Amino acid sequence: MSNESGDRTRSDEFSFFQDQRVRSGFYQVLAVAVVGWLVWYLISNTAHNLEARGMSTGFDFMQVSAGFDIEFKLLEYAPGVGTYADVFKIGVLNTLLISFFAIILSTVLGFFIGVLRLSNNWLVSKVSLAFVEVFRNVPLLIQIVFWYIGVFSLMPAVKKTLDLSFGAERLLLNNRGLYMAWPVPAEGFWMTVLAFGVAIVAALLIRHRALKRQAASGEQSNVLLLSLALLIILPLSVFFATGSPLAWDIPVLEGFNFVGGATVAPAFLALLASLSIYHAAQIAEAVRAGILSVNVGQGEAAKSIGLKPGRVMSLVVIPQAMPSIVPPLISNWMNLVKNSSLAIAVGYPDIVSLFMQTSLNQVGHAVEIVGLTMVFYMLVSLIISALLNIYNKRVQLVER
Amino acid sequence: MAIVTLEKTTARPAPLSETTALGWLRINLFSSVFNTVLTVISLYVVYLTVSSVFTWGYLDATFIADNRRECYKNSLTGACWAGIINWFNNMFYGRYPDAETWGVNSAAVILILWMAPLWMSRVRGKILIAVSVVVFYPFLAGYLFAGGAKSLLMNIMVTGAIVAFALNLLNTLAGLFTDTSIKEALIKVLGQSTAAEGTQRKVLFALLVLCFAVVFTLQSNWLVTEVSWTRWGGLFLTFVISGIAMALSLPLGIVLALGRRSELPAVRVLSTGFIEIFRSVPLITVLFMATTMFPLFMPDGFFLNNLVQVIIAVTLFNACYMAEIVRAGLQAIPKGQFEGAHTIGLGYWGTMGLIIMPQALKHMIPNIVGNLIGLLKDTTLVSIIGLFDVLGMLRSISKDVPWLGLHKEPLVFGGLLFFVICFSMSKYSRHLEFKLSAGSRR
């Protein structure tokens, strides 16, 4: 230190730049300035490039009619008539459709495999371990392409169609996809639907009553059979009483292909199979880890008060395992939705292949299209993580 | 009164059910009727799978043929591995010229030799080894891959890499045979072990400069044939993309994670936004963004090739996942560590660099390996946007005239390849997790 500063006070010497607030303010301004400059630089470059190439901006192109056809769609659409906005909607719906079915299948399969992994049967647990390791360690893209090219495209030709419904011709599989008989509701079918709704409400009421009774007196009553009977018999009897108002649209071989019923393309089947299996392997691990995270003493204590193995699981172990199973489960669902974008490899028209590839190649507008697609995925992620947060809050409340 | 025997009672043999194979079978496979049924069902499933795969892949398979028709002549139902064997080189090197593949191979060997000492307990100076790999190796490997004339920077870095690699080898030998670091070994060889520390340092520095100068002049005449990146492909390209992305995304991820945990609101919001945006979209959309939007971002006359675009996209994407791993590692550090570091007068960077990060990295290593596995698997997506990585090469086999329509075998082979790599990595990571948790395990 120099001599001059000898008589200065400490606070003078550490005045300005040592002040916490000044420093934090400085760093923040610096960070914002750097990021702001970068964004401005990229935007100005983009604007310049777009102008130089004579490209227009804005979302007007969404109202222009698209010239290409779409194989698989849930909405009315015709090439040359439907707009790019329709294409976007169809892509979104297709992504949500495949994700929905794959989430259900993978969760069911994942729980099943995860429980098998913990079986005390050595062979069963090793077989499920092999399943998990094989499907976890092979890239999803290879699995998708394999299911598409190696399995569903190698199905018999139309002439030798496989009948999965044992000769009833209601469920047919060939190399062009899966053909299903499709129910067509006739006049008066709403009464059956109504009866089903009533049955659900009644079953819930019965369950509520039974729980209340158990809480008050400790007596347990088996409501499962009663509810099941109610759920099946009531709608069925109404259905037959109103004269079976339901027709079946059955696929029929006409010329070179089947017509009628509902068709599922091989690409959809391949995507469904691979997404479900890949994520089932991941979910199985989450389920296993969750069940193992429950203290062994819990299961032993439950056994010692005389609960049967099934009830030990369902009343003691699983409820405590759920808080550690659900978060990875939900993040797996989120990954599944994102991974469904690999549909592009097999030509299933999801949002990425329809909108980000085909539409972008047709109309340009890269910035708008990429932005819209990403916003869609971000929204889905936001919704799913909101679900997770709600669940976590509930679990935390229960805990303390 | 007490009954005392003077001899020790010999232990009774364990019950048969505990020691014999039959007893093991009974306990583990046939303990109840239900278990027996399960065993029989699983045995049947295993039999079906193994026998069909074995018949298809080995018994009925064709290994030597010139085209697919010959395979069919041999067997209609078996696999046609001849196509894979025929394309072996392409699968690993893509369209890299055959005469130049030694460059790729030697880069791989150098990397292995360079990194191997990290796993040897007798070798000293592991941190320096790791740093030298990250700083110098990419330049040497890059030059071996791409070749061509060297710029001044390239000359310096290649020289640095060669010197560092040679020193590393010597250091490994010194560690293995004399259990010292190269520094001590050299001092001993030069007969300076009694000299003052300053003299020792000067001698070593002079030696290093001399080495550098000699290698610099020698290597300036060294010229590798230029190979355009468009000819890179196969597993080699997969490793290049995932390797660079991994090396870059770790530091970027650390910065993002520190930003997200920062006390400065503006920094926190910016990092969190960046991380969450990239984590909520699929990789394929980021890749499409890279190929369609990056050209628009660039200033006039500046052009990024496809490979660089892809690497940037994969790095940005992976860095966000890495940031979350780092954040989880940081969260596992008790608050007392931060406070302790502050008490002894360390500032932010001192606290992070000397106290927190070294501890947090230990927690993170298994997750980082997991991320590397995921990255390697995700790299297959670049085949969708037209790069010929290993999956791209495998899928082009079916378009090659002699092997037209050979789809299944390449995919099965690719699956097997990835399985071997990823499975062994995940096993290793689990072993590492076990080893690193030794301190907290009782």
Distance from CA of A155 to the nearest CA of B (A): 14
Rounded CA-CA distance B114/B149 in Å is 25
Average pLDDT on B237-266 reads 91
Q: List pLDDT tens digits, range A286-328.
A: 999 999 988 889 989 999 999 888 888 888 988 888 888 988 9
8 A C-beta contact, residue A255 and residue A128? no
Q: Is the minimum CB–CB distance between B313 and chain A shorter than 8 Å?
A: no
pLDDT of residue A1: 39
- Taking CA–CA distances from A352, the nearest residue in chain B reads B285
8 A C-beta contact, residue A351 and residue A373? yes
Size of interface A-B (CB pairs under 8 A): 155
User: In what helix (H) or strand (E) does residue A184 lie, and over which residues does it extend?
Assistant: strand A182-185
For chain A, how long is the longest CA-to-CA vector? Answer: 108
- What angle do helix axes A122-137 and B408-436 make, rounded to 10 degrees? 110
- Taking CA–CA distances from B41, the nearest residue in chain A reads A124
Distance from CA of B222 to the nearest CA of A (A): 40
CB contact under 8 A, A122 and B28: yes
- DSSP secondary structure code for residue B13 in this structure: P
- DSSP secondary structure code for residue B66 in this structure: S
**Per-residue pLDDT at B17 exceeds 80:** no
- Which residues of B are less than 8 Å from A339 in CB distance? 282
Which residues lie closer than 8 Å to A90 by C-beta, 6 or more apart?
A: A70, A73, A74, A75, A77, A349, A354
- Taking CA–CA distances from B32, the nearest residue in chain A reads A121
For chain B, how long is the longest CA-to-CA vector? Answer: 105
8 A C-beta contact, residue A149 and residue B411? yes
Find the CB nearest A370 among B288, B384, B422: B288
- Which residues of A are less than 8 Å from B292 in CB distance? 360, 366, 370
Q: What is the percent of chain B with per-residue pLDDT over 70, rounded to a whole number?
A: 99
Average pLDDT on B215-222 reads 87
Q: List pLDDT tens digits, range B143-152.
A: 999 888 888 8
In sequence order, the β-bridge partners of residue A182 are A249
pLDDT of residue B419: 95
CB contact under 8 A, A45 and B407: no
Which candidate in A56, A121, A339 is best for mutational testing of the B interface (most B CBs within 10 A)? A121
- Taking CA–CA distances from B378, the nearest residue in chain A reads A139
User: In what helix (H) or strand (E) does residue B141 lie, and over which residues does it extend?
Assistant: helix B126-146
CB contact under 8 A, B297 and A119: no
Only one residue has tokens 């609101």, namely B265
CB contact under 8 A, A373 and B285: yes
Asked whether the ipTM of the predicted complex exceeds the cut of 0.90, the reply is: no
| Closest of B318, B329, B320, B309 to residue B273, by C-alpha | B320
Q: Is the minimum CB–CB distance between B119 and chain A shorter than 8 Å?
A: no
Summarize chain A as % helix, strand, coil (round to 5). Answer: 70, 5, 20
B275 vs A393, higher pLDDT: B275
Q: Which tokens sit at A90?
A: 């169809």
Q: List pLDDT tens digits, range B129-177.
A: 888 888 899 899 999 998 888 888 888 999 999 999 999 998 888 888 8
- Taking CA–CA distances from B416, the nearest residue in chain A reads A138
pLDDT of residue B78: 86
pLDDT of residue A400: 44
Find the CB nearest A138 among B46, B283, B415: B415
pLDDT of residue A4: 45
- Which residues of B are less than 8 Å from A132 in CB distance? none
Q: How confident is the model at residue B311 (pLDDT cuts 50, 70, 90)?
A: very high
Residues 352-381 of B with CB under 8 A from A: 373, 377-378, 380-381
User: In what helix (H) or strand (E) does residue B326 lie, and over which residues does it extend?
Assistant: helix B306-331
- Which residues of A are less than 8 Å from B263 in CB distance? 24
**Per-residue pLDDT at B272 exceeds 60:** yes
Which candidate in B80, B289, B321 is best for mutational testing of the A interface (most A CBs within 10 A)? B289
Instruction: Kindly give the parts of chain A with pLDDT less than 50.
Output: 1-10, 399-400
In residues, how long is chain A?
A: 400
Q: Which tokens sit at B85?
A: 């064997």
**H-state helical runs in B20-98:** 21-28, 33-54, 68-74, 81-86, 88-93
- Which residues of B are less than 8 Å from A332 in CB distance? none
Rounded CA-CA distance A294/A317 in Å is 7
CB contact under 8 A, A138 and B381: no
Tell me the whole-structure pTM to 2 decimals: 0.87
| Closest of B70, B104, B99, B97 to residue B85, by C-alpha | B70
CB contact under 8 A, A356 and B288: yes
Only one residue has tokens 């193994």, namely B50
Which residues lie closer than 8 Å to A157 by C-beta, 6 or more apart?
A: A174, A175
Neighbours of A157 (CB within 10 A): 10
- As a whole number, the mean pLDDT across chain B is 88
Neighbours of A370 (CB within 10 A): 21
Q: List pLDDT tens digits, range B66-111.
A: 888 888 888 888 889 998 998 888 889 988 888 888 989 999 999 9
